Amino acid sequence: MFNRDRWAEILEAMNANRFRTLLTAFGVFWGIFILVLLLALTNGLRNGVGADFGDFATNSMFMWSQGTSKPYKGLPKGRFFSFKLEDVEVLKDQVPELKYVSPRNQLGGFRGSNNVTRNEKTGAYNVYGDYPEFIKQQPMDITAGRFISYSDIGDKRKVAVIGVDVVKGLYDIDEEPIGTYIKINGINFLVVGTFKNPKSNGDQEEEANTIFVPFTTFAQAFNRADNVGWMAITAHDHTQITNVKQRVFDIMKEQRTVHPDDDRAIGHFDLAEEFGRLMGLFSILSLVGYVVGGLVLLSGAIGVSNIMLIVVKERTKEIGVRRALGATPWNVKSQILLESLVLTILSGMWGIACAASAIWLMNFGLSQSGPVDNFANPSVNIGVIFIALTILLLSGILAGLIPATRATQMKPVDALRIE
Amino acid sequence: MIQIKDLHKSYQMGSNSLHVLKGIDFNVKEGELVSIMGSSGSGKSTLLNILGMLDEADLGSYTLDNVSIKNLNEKVAAQYRNKFLGFIFQSFNLINYKNALDNVSMPLYYQGIKRKERTDKALHYLEKVGLADWATHLPSELSGGQKQRVAIARALASDPKVLLADEPTGALDTKTSYEVMELIQGINEEGKTILVVTHEPDIAEMTKRIVNLKDGRIIDDRPVNQILAKAHV
């Protein structure tokens, strides 16, 4: 089937009307080009928005206490309460699906007043009381020193891990922050580490403007006793946080003597759900990409089919002669089919190659101009390319099928009579 | 070689039925050179098409080399055509984007013969028709007589039992016609059975037997004293 004469004939046939062949090929080229490009753009959008989530473990939720809305066990409604440190252990015990439960406290923050000073320099920063696990939920690059450790927690050491922007704000360029002291709300902390955020896009400044201190130290130094501001909870990989969160709420309500049906007492933000919703959106977007690209490709394939019909018509007599000389219908059909396949696949490959170059150019542009909001690293994986090739193969066969059938429909005697 | 009994063929032309062949009985022995004559519409081309398995008769039997030709599907018909028959057309019907050699080797290609062997054989037949030097020329670079000789080489290439020639000299001038007939006579002398459809009496006189068709019936079937084309060239 794939002998030299076959190929020679296909090339001869395609060369016979070069301009027409080119125009036909362009339809398929354009279809696959659009398809691959659309998928790459969708991917870029997905990567961009995904980067906005930073590296935070997406199977997570944040949970905080709000005022109660129902009286319970003699307690009035509208009562404010705090989670307690002991709740963390209870949660870990009773819900084994949870990977990390990090209690957190915060000082300062958005539009906060100046709260951190060093020598004559001063600034307003977010100060968090945290447990060592937190770095596993929100990965950050420790650029020097270390993160908070359990001995810090146990000994309530006054140590701090500060973000790169804090370093910029409080230190001179050639100063080494590790081992120096900063004053947070008038209390001296020893700097043991610096960090930066690996690749978060939107809130970069905010996050690098942050100081972490041990939770226990925070509680004691800033009079929080065993109150917990909020919790960052991550589930194990094989369970969805969305599926276990109701149990977490129930336990917390019991712990804090809140009416079991009081859904407004505990606020939460389900990162997994939000993330899933967004990713769902992107799945739909890439579906749209497939559909739109596929339809453009379809019109290309129809173009090929059209031209092949004309080719068959033009060569009716030749086909008649060939059949008189002993070409079986299958000989003729496979020739036409192969011709349309070769045309589709060759132009399709060109389309893929050009789309890949366009993507490369885009990435090059992005790397030159720096990150753009909500768009990063447009790309398609090899799977998509294979899908595109499969679509090409199918459309090539489809495009050749009608002309091939047409070619052998006429009786040889009638074909020979055509002038 | 060819036995035909009571062959009928009619064409449906809109609502009218056109009865073209009205019972043909006709035999051809091996090595004969027969011309089929008749005015246009007499059914001679239809007869040739049926003999060439390009068309099917409505009624009657057709046996070629002891093989009954009946109800063939297109695939088998194509294989039989390839194996048993060589066609020579009035308008040559060479494939215009293939050179002479490739044109001649086409029947061999459909036999599935390897390229090398195919080329050797095709060259041999081109030599036979005196066009070995023109092997790499495209049909557009050949004269009418040369084209027909290439077509004859192509018809011979698969070494068929019977050559069917449909007005082989119809598109040629007298001198070239005789040259082509000389070639056909030579091939016949080597033992090949040949049927020639023509309406030119002088061409018919160069065969060994004339079958006259009129209105779908054979009205005359007589042997002739063959006139050698060589004498006229």
Predicted confidence (pLDDT) per residue in A23-43, tens digit: 888 988 998 899 889 888 888
The predicted-structure confidence for A392-417, as pLDDT tens digits, reads as follows 888 888 888 888 898 888 888 888 88
Q: How confident is the model at residue A204 (pLDDT cuts 50, 70, 90)?
A: low
Measured between CA atoms, the residue of chain A closest to residue B75 is: A328
Question: What are the residue ranges spanned by the domains of chain A?
Answer: 4-54+276-417, 105-228
- The Cβ of residue A46 has, within 10 Å, a number of other Cβ atoms equal to 22
- Which of A12, A325, A330 comes nearest B75 by C-beta? A330
Q: Which amino acid is at B134?
A: W
pLDDT of residue A340: 87
CA distance, residue A27 to nearest chain B CA (Å): 27
- Which of A5, A322, A412 comes nearest B54 by C-beta? A412
Round to whole Å and give the CA distance between B40 and B46. Answer: 11
- Which of B93, B111, B115 comes nearest A326 by C-beta? B111
Burial group, residue A175, by CB count within 10 angstroms (0-12, 13-18, 19+): exposed
Q: How confident is the model at residue A290 (pLDDT cuts 50, 70, 90)?
A: confident
Stretch among A47-61, A235-249, A259-273, B154-168 having the lowest mean pLDDT: A47-61
What is the residue whose two structure tokens read 């293939």? Answer: B98
Is residue B149 pLDDT above 70, yes or no? yes
Is residue A56 pLDDT above 80, yes or no? no
Question: What are the residue ranges spanned by the domains of chain B?
Answer: 31-58+72-232
pLDDT of residue A201: 44
DSSP string, A342-366: HHHHHHHHHHHHHHHHHHHHHHHHH
Round to whole Å and give the CA distance between A98 and A137. Answer: 12
Can you tell me the mean pLDDT for A303-311? 86
Q: How confident is the model at residue A1 (pLDDT cuts 50, 70, 90)?
A: very low
Can you tell me the mean pLDDT for A318-326? 90
Round to whole Å and give the CA distance between B51 and B61. Answer: 11
CATH of domain B31-58+72-232: 3.40.50.300
Is residue A136 within a helix (H) or strand (E), and if so which, with residue range? helix A134-137
Is residue B96 within a helix (H) or strand (E), and if so which, with residue range? none
Closest CA to A249 of A238, A240, A236, A262: A262
CA distance, residue B203 to nearest chain A CA (Å): 23
The predicted-structure confidence for B50-81, as pLDDT tens digits, reads as follows 999 988 888 899 998 888 888 888 889 999 99
Q: Which residues of A touch B74 (CB under 8 A)?
A: 323, 328-329, 408
Is residue A77 pLDDT above 50, yes or no? yes
- The Cβ of residue A18 has, within 10 Å, a number of other Cβ atoms equal to 9
Long-range contacts of A142-151 (CB under 8 A, 24+ apart): A142/A193, A142/A194, A142/A195, A143/A194, A143/A195, A143/A196, A144/A177, A144/A178, A144/A193, A144/A194, A145/A178, A145/A191, A145/A192, A145/A193, A145/A194, A146/A192, A146/A193, A147/A193, A147/A195, A147/A212, A148/A212, A148/A213, A148/A214
pLDDT of residue B137: 93
Q: Which residues of B touch A12 (CB under 8 A)?
A: 97-98
pLDDT of residue A111: 59
Residue pair A241/A61 in contact (Cβ under 8 Å)? The answer is yes
Round to whole Å and give the CA distance between B29 and B162. Answer: 10
